Structure 1
Amino acid sequence: MKRPLFLFRLIYQFLLRVTSPFGVLLLRIRFHGLRNVPKKGPYILCCNHRSVIDPYMIAMAVPQHLYFMAKRELFTDHGPLASGFLHAMGAFPVQRDSADIQSLRSAEEILKRGDALAIFPQGRVVFDNTSFRPKAGAALIAARTGMPILPVSIWCKGAWRFGKRVTVRVGQMLPAQIFSGSEKSRKLLHESAKLLADRINHQLEEGHGF
């Protein structure tokens, strides 16, 4: 998957940096652990999924362009303009609940050229505080590419709605060695996915606390 044109990457950064101060205030977002965010990639950012605006909240915390893996329906169900905009910003589709080889290759290309990949491993929005239970795709990509995972959590009390206080917490990077060999063993892959889940669930347990 090629990088978006320079113009679109410039638009991404311009819109994000101009709107971020207002977004933080209007959405009542508090960030913790921003010191853990690398200034540049490659790495895989993994986060639980609480609402449709999660990509925006995460992007505010990351200085570089994030390339989001997004469900295919966002590209097919909302018309060509929406699909074109998503592609222009660097998002790419994944077919959920299937072995989508093309999306896997796109993810690997993004990481190999030194960019940051963002994934919501749950595969869909979870509106309550149910424990984070990721699918194994993120751990598999980390194992195949030898890239670390940055665990991020989004927490609010109950279902998210506009005006509710939100905490975005960035944890310490999980080194690539943790996921090594998982692409060759279903057991290791399951253990790697569980380790990622445990880390993000631990962050979620902190709630709004410091």
Structure 2
Amino acid sequence: MVFSLSYRIRIEREIGVATPSPAVILPKHQYWTDIPLMSIAIPESLYFVAKKELFLLPGVRTFLSLLGGIPLDRDRSIRTLKSFKEIFSLLDRAERVVLFPEGTYVRHAVGLGKSRLIEMILEYQSRRPQRIPFIPVGIRYGKRMGGRREVRIRIGRPLFGNERTDAPSLTGRVMEEIGRLSGLPMIKGSSPSRRTVQKDDSSSAMQALNGQPEACSLDLAQEPSIYF
């Protein structure tokens, strides 16, 4: 109700009425309002990955918990692995997980996509019978008219990767689609399709997920991801 008073929301879908599940949904990120707007645009249950610091704020913690927030501790590998396990458990249950691939607010343009989480999900996918769809979403904020601001949300067609080493190219395609769907320019060098996969971190992390936590040396801080 509050958002209908503040925003004039237009939703366009390049996919069918129902959003595939399981799925990883990858929206453009410009404001905190992207979070509730995604819940409006996709009526099915969503689970949002958020940095752990947001769960320390009482009001925000309650809000994120109601939206299915998953805290991600980028400073402690074991806690990060617990978050990964929760994400994988949700995908096992055919749920929809939302990741903001830019990792922070980037306004008026599309920023550099972070491929680390996508890489981990593709590694997890290798143990599944079917591929997981990665769905890009464009969000474009317009001008205020009559006290309300227009927002256009465009849900794109699913993209797929086959294996962990596809993460950089898949992330590049996701960011290009987010740019197209949002109608926003790409920041120069924002396509990570030529980036190499950091095998050491991901391989050791997956060993830990498979019951060998002492082997983990995952350091997400190497990529300055700030979810939400």
**Superposition map of 1:139-178 within 5 A:** 139-143=118-122, 144-145=124-125, 146-157=131-142, 163-174=148-159, 178=160
Matched, 1:94 2:72: yes
Q: Cα 1:151–1:51, aligned 2, differ >3 Å: closer, same or farther?
A: same
Q: Cα 1:31–1:85, aligned 2, differ >3 Å: closer, same or farther?
A: closer
**Separation in 2 of the partners of 1:37 and 1:142?**
25
Displacement of 1:57 in angstroms is: 0.6
Q: Which has the higher helix share?
A: 1
Matched, 1:134 2:113: yes
Matched, 1:192 2:197: no
Q: Is the 8 A contact 2:21 2:96 kept in 1?
A: yes
Which structure 1 residue ranges, 5 or more long, are not aligned? 1-18
Q: Deviations over 1:146-190 (max 9, x none)?
A: 3111111111259xxx8332111111111xxx31112xx3xx321
Displacement of 1:58 in angstroms is: 0.8
Matched, 1:70 2:50: yes
Q: Deviations over 1:102-137 (max 9, x none)?
A: 2222111111111111111111122x2122321013
Give secondary structure in 2 for the equivalent of 1:165. strand
Q: Cα 1:202–1:50, aligned 2, differ >3 Å: closer, same or farther?
A: same
**Superposition map of 1:40-119 within 5 A:** 41-76=21-56, 78-79=57-58, 82-96=60-74, 100-119=80-99
The one-letter code matched in structure 2 to 1:133 is L
Q: TM-score, normalised by structure 2?
A: 0.66
Give secondary structure in 2 for the equivalent of 1:132. coil
The one-letter code matched in structure 1 to 2:28 is N
User: Identity rate of aligned residues, in percent?
Assistant: 24
Q: Cα 1:37–1:139, aligned 2, differ >3 Å: closer, same or farther?
A: farther
Q: Paired residue for 2:10?
A: 30
RMSD: 2.7
Q: Is the 8 A contact 1:27 1:166 kept in 2?
A: yes
Give secondary structure in 1 for the equivalent of 2:174. helix
**Aligned residue pair count:** 174
Q: Deviations over 1:53-87 (max 9, x none)?
A: 111111112121101111211102x13x6435533
Q: TM-score, normalised by structure 1?
A: 0.71
Give secondary structure in 2 for the equivalent of 1:196. helix
Q: Paired residue for 1:202?
A: 180
Q: Is the 8 A contact 2:28 2:110 kept in 1?
A: no
Give secondary structure in 2 for the equivalent of 1:147. coil
Q: Cα 1:86–1:157, aligned 2, differ >3 Å: closer, same or farther?
A: closer
**Separation in 1 of the partners of 2:75 and 2:170?**
19
Q: Is the 8 A contact 2:5 2:148 kept in 1?
A: no
Runs of 4+ in 1 over 6 A off after TM superposition: none
Displacement of 1:39 in angstroms is: 4.6
**Separation in 2 of the partners of 1:202 and 1:49?**
14
